[in-house]
Amino acid sequence: MSDQSFKTYRKNKGVIFENNEHRITLKDSSIQAFDEFSTIQTGKNGIMYFYYTLEYSHRDCVDYEEESGDEIYKWKKKFSVTTSDFPAIQSFQEIVAHMEKLDIKKNGQKTIYMDKTIVYQYSMSTDSSFVNEDSYELTKIVEPSDHSIYYDVYFGRCNGCRGKDSYGTKITYLSEDDIVVLKEFINDFMNLSIEINNKHTLKMVKNEQCSKIIIGNQIVSCDLMNGIEVTEENLDTTTIDYIFSIGDDVSIHLAECFSKHETEYYKVRIVDINKDKQSVTIEDTYNEKKVIEIPINKIAYISNEKKYDITKQDVADFIKKYNKK
């Protein structure tokens, strides 16, 4: 138990911040982005809702060696908090970066003790008007007499604002080096969460790309999630979920990775469907009737503005028209 300096590392689908006594784990993240068909860029705010688990474990003495009498330690989980909607980790990320640079001799509270010792301290927490499942507080302390700077950090559930339902842990006397590691820990968890989200998004976009085909002068969209490209030969009419025709008013969402400009076209009209080029031409009625041609394999999502559900009759008419089974 001698080494009290902190380290951070990834394990499974989480990131760990620990020394020989304390272990904080952030794991099992799930992001709901503002744009579900676009990847999230690190450092940019594309996150609408963010879900993850905050877990704290302590290294407890559980037994003694019979011969040497040495203590035997094991990690014991003390609490686990699952967050939803508006968790506090992003705010804490900003707090750590801010406090690291803050001169608390100018901005902090000054305390003079009876022995004339002077201490400056400043605290920031993530508590807000939202009732978050997780809560963080960081206190920076400076003692000018020996030029020491250290930090206390709280991890837990709402830092006392929920009474008996509130619980957490306060780790004291973190060094400046520990705070650098703490910042790396939070940043790496955010990066890992974004990596997991983007991998899922790209897989979903690929599935959407593969699920559309032009047959005759209609666009057929199938409800498939296997990543296999739909062709006229392998088309299973039981999987058809939409059929689009010339004259339909639609909204089209392009995958962000395929467009350097607009990614969304709302309430546009299909004016041409080209089977040979596997493309659709739309008229943007909100942009001076601008005409745009889009390859269908760049479309992440297309929806009919006036008709939301396909009927059995729609599919029957399609089968009859193109002699499909």
**Residue 1 confidence (pLDDT):** 44
pLDDT digits (tens, 9 = 90+) for 20-41: 999 999 999 998 888 777 788 7
Cα torsion 231, 233, 237, 243: sign: positive
Residues 6+ away with beta carbon under 8 Å from 59: 1, 20, 21, 22, 23, 73, 74, 75, 76
Of residues 27 and 67, which shows the higher confidence score?
27
Mean local confidence (pLDDT), 158-180: 80
The Cα–Cα gap between 210 and 251 comes to 19
Q: Between β-strands 148-156 and 7-11, what pairing exists: parallel, antiparallel or unpaired?
A: unpaired
- Helices 89-101 and 176-210, axial angle in degrees (round to 10): 140
Q: Which amino acid is at 211?
A: S
**Residue 308 confidence (pLDDT):** 59
Model confidence band, residue 129 (pLDDT cutoffs 50, 70, 90): very low
The edge-to-edge listing of strands for the beta sheet with 135-143 is 109-112, 118-125, 135-143, 148-156, 168-174
CA distances from 83 to 18, 115, 224, 231, 276 (A): 21, 45, 31, 43, 49
Residues 6+ away with beta carbon under 8 Å from 132: 83, 86, 87, 88, 126, 158
The Cα–Cα gap between 292 and 197 comes to 30
**Residue 131 confidence (pLDDT):** 56
Q: Which amino acid is at 260?
A: K
Model confidence band, residue 303 (pLDDT cutoffs 50, 70, 90): confident
